[in-house]
Amino acid sequence: MTRQEMLDSLHSQAGEWDIIIIGGGATGVGVAIDAASRGYDTLLVEAIDFGKGTSSRSTKLVHGGVRYLEQGNVSLVMEALKERGILRNNAPHLVSDLEFIVPSYEWWEAPFYGIGLKLYNILSGKYGFGASKILSREETLRRLPTINRDRLRGGVVYYDGQFDDARLLINMVTTAAEQGATLVNYCRVTGLTKDMDGFVSGIIARDEESGQIFTATGKVVVNATGPFTDSVRALADPMAQPMISPSQGVHLVFDRSFLPDDSAIMVPHTRDGRVMFAIPWHGHTLVGTTDTAIPEATIDPSPMEEEIAFILTTAGQYLRKVPSRSDVLSVYTGIRPLVRAAHSHNTAALSRDHTIHIDESGLLSIAGGKWTTYRNMAEDCVNHAATLGKLPDRECSTTRLHIHGFHSQAEKFGFLSFYGSDAPAIQALMRSEPALAQPLSTALPYVGAEVVWAARHEMARTVEDVLCRRTRALFLNSRAAIAAAPKVASLMARELGQDSGWQTKQLAEFQRIASHFSLDSAVRRV
């Protein structure tokens, strides 16, 4: 899968596409997989890189959402729990079970949360991940040795799913391509074409690498641009009423010592009534998140001082070793594409259900939902798109479609397990050129062969693509990622036939992006 092959396929398309999708996050790529696997001629264009938006910045949970149960949204929880099971079946190399413990410090907490989590498990039906149960204080401490012991009474254990969001997305891009879709990154949609009746008939886009402007026509155009949904809708109708209420969420990443075992902590009620997680992820500890309404979405969002303080304070209440600013290895911020409610100012209360909206121009927008439910969202979207575009009826087949890299015993590949069935090819690269088996940094679990693999087979075009979404270096440790960047730039230049000037520009751009992941430079005040 190379970008040039994708561009060749794009420019050699003789007639119109059945479906054109704008946006290469979980929603858009999910739609591309569904549409292509039904046999529709499918084109997807992404302005920057696949997963550059919200889809690489989640809490990394494949879950039903305990909080939505509390809000009484049983159907959303049931749908998400079913999708959780389907996703684990189709991408076992990237989705795994995780044990969560709700610590209890008051007498009523264990029975109260115990009942709720039993219901959560019942709702998962045949897709269950394991029964929840109430734990004694001793059992809670055995599973969570770093939990704050002061007044601890016990806890409740339940099971949910965990994943690597950007790696799943990259494997989904390959899956869509294997099903016949054409997907191009670094192609920004700058306009929409209309037919004689004023209906959207295609896109005007700019290849961000060559600067070339091109058009593509389609029977139906799907807007899957997440937090940017309204800016694309405005291309069809500048007067369109906004449908998105953006809200940002921040995560802090610490070393493993804060959560050394394989259990996660779930705090069901923080000071602002939210859920907070502390999760072991890629040998680190990830803590979040917040829910802060923002006026508009930006592509490189930054955390606010209040959000950092809130996460540190809440984590400090539950962990024996109270984390401080100097312990933060990385901070990242994502923007929820929540669909507006007429009378709500509280984004935490807005629905996480997805919405399909068709403008008078015929532009179909799909927004909201969750990473976990992307497959179901895509099925719904393509059903609507097929009607709108008068496409022949064809059944959705994605419930059983394996995601690229599928491997049911991927743990045997050690630190390359996340590549699933691609891991042996990366191991072969390491054997053929031993320098590629060297780590990019002693603080990161990545080697040079992964950079070469990403450039050759995963359409990585920049140092950021490799350090953010093909590997997760910048999310895990911003200083170590910056230190590894020159090595990555040099390996990529060799693969992509670029010169030293390109490397210098890449490093400067990566420094700029990395500044949004470092507490020293990223934080802004409200």
Binding residues for ligand FAD, per CB under 6 A? 22-28, 45-48, 52-55, 57-61, 63, 188-189, 224-228, 232, 249, 289, 334-337, 369-372
The DSSP bridge pattern shows strands 42-45 and 182-184 to be parallel
- 141, 89, 99: which is closest to 121 by C-alpha? 99
Is the N-terminal amide bond of 215 cis, ω within 30° of 0?
no
In the structure encoding, which two tokens stand for residue 418, read together?
A: 């996340």
| Dist CA 297 CA 424 (whole Å) | 40
Rounded least distance, CB 289 to ligand FAD, Å: 5
Nearer to ligand FAD, 331 or 463 (CB): 331
Rounded least distance, CB 195 to ligand FAD, Å: 21
Rounded least distance, CB 166 to ligand FAD, Å: 10
Nearer to ligand FAD, 47 or 426 (CB): 47
Nearer to ligand FAD, 222 or 224 (CB): 224
Nearer to ligand FAD, 137 or 194 (CB): 194
- 292, 364, 266: which is closest to 18 by C-alpha? 364
| Dist CA 124 CA 252 (whole Å) | 30
Q: Which residue has the tokens 């911003």?
A: 478
**Long-range CB contacts (< 8 A, 24+ apart) of 437-441?**
440/471, 440/473, 440/484, 440/487, 440/488, 441/473, 441/477, 441/480, 441/481, 441/483, 441/484
- Which stretches of 269-421 are assigned E, i.e. beta strand? 276-281, 284-288, 292-293, 330-339, 354-358, 364-368
Name the β-bridge partners of 276: 267
Rounded least distance, CB 50 to ligand FAD, Å: 7
Nearer to ligand FAD, 77 or 224 (CB): 224
Rounded least distance, CB 243 to ligand FAD, Å: 13
Rounded least distance, CB 311 to ligand FAD, Å: 12
In degrees to the nearest 10, what's the CA dihedral of 190, 377, 3, 500? Answer: 80
The values of phi and psi at residue 403, to 5°, are -80, 145
| Dist CA 432 CA 456 (whole Å) | 15
Q: How far apart, in Å, are the Cα atoms of 226 and each of 22, 355, 517?
A: 10, 11, 21
Q: Is 245 left (phi over 0), alpha (psi -120 to 50) or beta?
A: beta
In the structure encoding, which two tokens stand for residue 516, read together?
A: 């949004």
> Who's near 443: CB < 8 A, 6+ residues apart?
477, 479, 480
Rounded least distance, CB 296 to ligand FAD, Å: 13
Nearer to ligand FAD, 47 or 423 (CB): 47
Nearer to ligand FAD, 266 or 436 (CB): 266
Nearer to ligand FAD, 254 or 371 (CB): 371
Nearer to ligand FAD, 21 or 519 (CB): 21
Nearer to ligand FAD, 377 or 489 (CB): 377
Nearer to ligand FAD, 268 or 369 (CB): 369
- 332, 333, 375, 338: which is closest to 353 by C-alpha? 338
Rounded least distance, CB 371 to ligand FAD, Å: 3
Nearer to ligand FAD, 413 or 517 (CB): 517
Rounded least distance, CB 485 to ligand FAD, Å: 22
SS3 of residue 129 by DSSP:
coil
Nearer to ligand FAD, 95 or 147 (CB): 95
Rounded least distance, CB 25 to ligand FAD, Å: 2
The DSSP bridge pattern shows strands 17-22 and 213-223 to be parallel
Q: Is 381 left (phi over 0), alpha (psi -120 to 50) or beta?
A: alpha
Number of C-beta neighbours around residue 360 at 10 A: 10
Q: Classify residue 411 as exposed, middle or buried by CB count within 10 Å of its CB (0-12, 13-18, 19+).
A: exposed
Rounded least distance, CB 336 to ligand FAD, Å: 4
Nearer to ligand FAD, 329 or 381 (CB): 381
Rounded least distance, CB 268 to ligand FAD, Å: 15
| Dist CA 391 CA 41 (whole Å) | 10
- Give the end-to-end CA distance of the chain in Å, rounded to a whole number: 43
Rounded least distance, CB 292 to ligand FAD, Å: 10
Rounded least distance, CB 315 to ligand FAD, Å: 16
